[in-house]
Chain A
Amino acid sequence: MTDRLNLSLLRKLVQLLAFLFLVYGSAIVGFYTADKISGALPALACAYDQQTADYCTLIPFQHQMDHRVGMVINAGGDLLKALLPSLITLGTFLLMFVVLNKAFCGWICPLGFFQEVLSLIGQKLGLRRIESLPEGLVLRVRPFKWVILLLLVFGLPLLAGLGSVGHELGSPYCSICPSRILTTLAAGDTSQVYLDTSSDGYFVLSLIANLLFGLMLAWGLFVRQPFCRICPMLALHAAFRSIGLVRLVKQGKPRCEKCGLCAKACPMDIREIHTEMEQRDVLFADCTLCGRCVEFCPDKEVLQLKYVTLPLFKADPAYFKRRKQAQGQWEKRNLLAWWRKRRGGAA
């Protein structure tokens, strides 16, 4: 890496290109669904965005649970045949997931990128940010992503297919997903911001969707990656992370105990990246493979991003020094500081 180009900057460029491609990319890959790359992307690119180049895997799962599996169990058909589309979706998801592992979050996801942009706006406005959430809160929030995955992506759609709950719950995660609102708005379509008055169920879901999006906008200015922490895609990734080829490895040294810079740098507040001293594999369930912990590790090769066994990026004292300096300068420049300086100058 040169003095100017660092891993975070490179990642932002990749995220920007991925955002443009996934939100507007039908112009490149063709308009129709069949022109899309997979229809089972391991990141929240949205099927409701009519210009998207590919869409996330959570929507086919919900529809298959509702329209296929649930209905077939109800009507007494061939269950294996009904499960086949879900298995194809899972297979397609895994084929892509194995290549980048959880880096789909840190490098590709439009909603992940948007939350980083919010964070950047908050920082540039000079807002007093909460750099790390309290440990207790982080631990309490972690199970939610699993609950959302199991309940909203699989459980309720299945029950809707079985007829046990209303059809409103046929795709409940999509009904509240912030990426649906973000990507459609980004494509110039405001039709996804609505309150649905057709039934109590739809009303509650549409209300939650808008409140959640508003909350994400507000919290994103102060806290890093607020939605990611409860995202069902993060849970789906976590379930399969051991098969992914990109790895995060650690070779702990005694100095680690007094340091902890990696955990401070982590946008997901994974403190275990600091405290784990035995295990070599430190790709934890909440990791998005953003690589910040590696960038901000001051000790040689303690943390590494690897592609199977091939090192992609290693902690390095010289890089750390440059990176820390650049970060300090970057954080100093914000609107509030500029305004104070201007007023100070005028006085």
Chain B
Amino acid sequence: MIPRTLILTALLALTGTTQAALSWSSQLPPNPHADHAGHGGHGGRGAGTPFILRDGDGATAQLRLPTLVRRALEPDAQGLVTLQPSGLLSYHLLLATRSSPGREEVALRYHYLNGKPSDASPSLLVNSRKATLDIIPAPLTREHQRYQANGAYHYLLRYGDLPLANTEVRLTTSNGSVLSTTSDHRGRLSFTLPDDFPEVQAGRGANRPAEFLLSATHTQAGTQHLTTLSADYHADPAHWRSALGGWLALLGGFVGGLAVVQFSRNSSEENARD
């Protein structure tokens, strides 16, 4: 099984769409059904969840808990870190940073871990200061929802404490798509994730998730800021779900229900006559 990070790197290299950038990537277990055990963005059970820090030479990595407590992460030589449950149920942030004269790079990835319910809202984590140039999910997907192809998702681009307007943000996917958009005057931007899974199988668990990466660059006061935000996304269930069939079944239930009422009324009237 070829690690997906390699596929991503190879694809990006092939398409020549982006320069290598500090970013997080998930490394999925080889069994495609293993993903099925999770739901709606839940994860982090059992032996821990592996992530790869890509292009991470010289970077420092940390995990931010929902309460903003920080824990250092030590990627191995391949950039692999295995995320263990923190004890708190909610979104956590994988954060990697690297600074050099004239350049500040940040990689972000939010991940849902199981544990005890936490009082801290994910808004605390997403809005906390973690990078000069920040790509903020607005909002993160909620429980029982996850990123999926053909879904529209919104983000906020922030520089320092202020929204960053008119800045290009690129979206690349591990399935080879490249999109770009520009933040509006309030720093907001949206992407509709491409329906680019090469062979969609019927069923949520039958399709391994792919990965998308948002990247933004902004230069100010002689420093180039480069930030990436990555996440998994899934095949669009509309491939194996029929909305028309659903509405027809609903209509069938309604008509059948009316028929049952009429039938029971007729038979009770007949009984009354007898």
Residue positions of A touching B, CB distance < 8 A: 30-35, 39, 47-48, 50, 59, 63, 67, 71, 88, 128, 130, 167, 170, 181, 190-191, 193-199, 202, 206-207, 210-219, 222-223
Contacts and interface: CB of A to CB of B under 8 A. Distances in A.
Interface string B248-274: 011111111110110001000000000
B88 to A, nearest CB: 10
Interface in B70-87: none
A34 B89 CA distance: 9
Contact of A197 (B39, B241, B251): B241
Contact of B249 (A32, A88, A198, A210): A210
A216 B117 CA distance: 35
Contacts of B120: 34
Given A32-B139, A50-B142, A219-B260, 19 more contacts: A30-B121, A32-B91, A32-B121, A34-B121, A35-B121, A35-B123, A47-B143, A67-B38, A88-B116, A130-B261, A210-B247, A211-B256, A213-B250, A215-B257, A217-B250, A217-B253, A217-B257, A218-B255, A222-B261
Contact of B117 (A39, A47, A67): A39
Contacts of B241: 194-198, 206
A213 B253 contact: yes
Interface centre among A67, A88, A193 (most CB of B within 10 A): A193
Given A31-B142, A197-B241, A167 B261 contact: no
B19 interface: no
Contacts of A39: 117
B209 to A, nearest CB: 16
Contacts of A198: 202-204, 206, 240-241
Contacts of A170: 39
A32 B89 CA distance: 12
A214 B117 contact: no
B245 interface: yes
Interface centre among A34, A191, A217 (most CB of B within 10 A): A34
A94 to B, nearest CB: 16
Given A32-B139, A211-B253, A196 B240 contact: yes
Contacts of B18: none
A105 to B, nearest CB: 22
Contacts of B246: 193-195, 206, 210
Interface string B107-145: 000000000111111110000000000000001101111
B119 A212 contact: no
B90 interface: yes
A194 B243 contact: yes
B36 interface: yes
Nearest to B120: A34
Interface string B168-210: 0000000000000000000000000000000000111110000
Contacts of A59: 144
Contact of A211 (B202, B250, B258): B250
A195 B123 contact: no
Interface residues of B, number: 50
A47 B143 CA distance: 8
24 contacts: A32-B122, A33-B142, A33-B143, A34-B90, A35-B123, A39-B117, A67-B37, A67-B45, A194-B241, A195-B249, A197-B245, A198-B206, A198-B240, A206-B241, A210-B246, A211-B256, A214-B249, A214-B253, A214-B255, A215-B260, A218-B253, A218-B256, A218-B261, A222-B261
Closest 5 CB pairs of A and B: A214-B253, A218-B257, A195-B245, A198-B203, A210-B249
Given A50-B145, A214-B254, A197 B202 contact: yes
Contact of A190 (B243, B245, B260, B261): B243
B56 interface: no
Contacts of A194: 237, 241-243, 245-246
A193 B202 contact: no
Contacts of B260: 215, 218-219
Given A167-B36, A213-B250, A214-B250, A34 B257 contact: no
B39 A63 contact: yes
Contacts of B204: 198
A202 B205 CA distance: 12
B9 to A, nearest CB: 32
Given A34-B122, A193-B250, A222-B261, A215 B256 contact: yes
A57 B255 CA distance: 32
Nearest to B254: A214
Contact of A214 (B123, B206, B252): B252
A193 B247 contact: yes
A52 to B, nearest CB: 9
Nearest to A88: B117
B243 A30 contact: no
Interface in B28-43: 36-39, 42
A191 B148 CA distance: 13
Contacts of A31: 123, 139, 142
A4 to B, nearest CB: 34
Contacts of A207: 249
Nearest to A35: B121
B119 A34 contact: yes
Contacts of A167: 36, 205
A63 B143 CA distance: 12
